Amino acid sequence: MIHVRAPATTANLGAGFDCAGAALDLWNELELSEGGGDADAGHLAVRAFARLASPDGFGFTFTERIPRARGLGSSAATIALGLVAGAEVAGRSPDAEELLALGLDLEGHPDNLAAALAGGVCLTWEGRVVRIADDAPGVPIAVVPREQVETHAARAALPETIAHGDAAFSVARAALLGAAVASGSAELFAAAADDRLHEPYRAPQAPVLAAVREQMPDGAIAATLSGSGPTVIVWAEPQSAAVCAAQLTERFPDTDVLQLSISPTGAGQL
């Protein structure tokens, strides 16, 4: 039996649209058994598995903990599960970039999948994956609404063009984001956590973001929309994370508040 797991992810981290992501310590799992019956050929994990090995004759049993369609990379984790399980069956040890290339067309954009495969905080561009840190300058607290947001619908809300001033604003924050994560600076991270490229256009379907930013809880460093939303990640000072999470739980009773951590490792065998 092969038993693998893959983490949830939060993508963009503010201005790092489609190029920045972080692995979260919240895991989906796959148990692969021989002689387990016919696999669902349309399942994302099975399709990813088939890029490396034939799924015929294997049974696929999933444990899902990552909320679906909430901006926490559930589809990327599913693809990562299939890729790493397929590599095990094929007797191969591809690196994160090789696996990203194999699964990217299934995911559609690289930031979630890169972080799910490599772990830590990652940057990705033109097929490259670089883990720039094992941790972030703040503790991630996920505020997860019950409503779902489909990625394709959230992308449809983005305009074809934006003003030059908004582009310059986001470029500056993206540069700050890279510097903040690489240096571990909470001050730079707080300055980086704003965006004019995607967040303003997704905000109507993620009202928690504006509510949190209007009144930041005690100990909060920053708040970012997680992927396409509607989940919001509140980044807290380590010593204040529990207090911050408690305040968010009280303020947003119709959400699930999850105090998480960055996982320094990505998808792999258990």
> Which domains are present in the chain?
2-133 (3.30.230.10), 139-259 (3.30.70.890)
Chain centroid to Cα 230, Å, comes to: 13
pLDDT bin (cut points 50, 70, 90) of residue 60 is: very high
Would you say residue 71 has pLDDT above 80?
A: yes
Q: Give the model's pLDDT for residue 152.
A: 77
Q: What would the pLDDT profile of 93-150 be if each residue is shown by its tens digit?
A: 999 999 999 999 998 889 999 999 999 999 999 999 999 999 999 999 999 999 998 8
Q: Give the model's pLDDT for residue 167.
A: 95
The rounded distance, in Å, linking the Cα atoms of 14 and 212 is 14
Q: Give the model's pLDDT for residue 36.
A: 67
Q: Give the model's pLDDT for residue 256.
A: 98
Phi, psi of 245, rounded to the nearest 5 degrees = -60, -40
Q: What would the pLDDT profile of 2-31 be if each residue is shown by its tens digit?
A: 999 999 999 999 999 999 999 999 999 999
pTM of this prediction? 0.95
Q: Give the model's pLDDT for residue 222.
A: 97
Across the chain, what does the average pLDDT equal? 95
Would you say residue 154 has pLDDT above 90?
A: no
Secondary structure in 3-state letters for the chain: CEEEEEEEEEECCCCCCCCEEEEEEEEEEEEEEECCCCCCCCCHHHHHHCCCCCCCCEEEEEECCCCCCCCCCHHHHHHHHHHHHHHHHHCCCCCHHHHHHHHHHHHCCHHHHHHHHHCCEEEEECCEEEEEECCCCCEEEEEEECCCCCHHHHHHCCCCCCCHHHHHHHHHHHHHHHHHHHHCCHHHHHHHCCCCCCHHHHHHHCHHHHHHHHCCCCCEEEEEECCCCCCEEEEECHHHHHHHHHHHHHHCCCEEEEECCECCCCCEEC
Q: What would the pLDDT profile of 186-229 be if each residue is shown by its tens digit?
A: 999 999 999 999 999 998 889 999 999 999 999 999 999 999 99
Q: What would the pLDDT profile of 227-260 be if each residue is shown by its tens digit?
A: 999 999 999 999 999 999 999 999 999 999 999 9
Q: Is 50 exposed, middle or buried (0-12, 13-18, 19+ CB in 10 A)?
A: middle
Which whole number is the average pLDDT over 31-54?
A: 91
Which whole number is the average pLDDT over 50-78?
A: 96
Vertex 256: Cα angle to 30 and 24 (nearest 5): 45
Would you say residue 37 has pLDDT above 80?
A: no
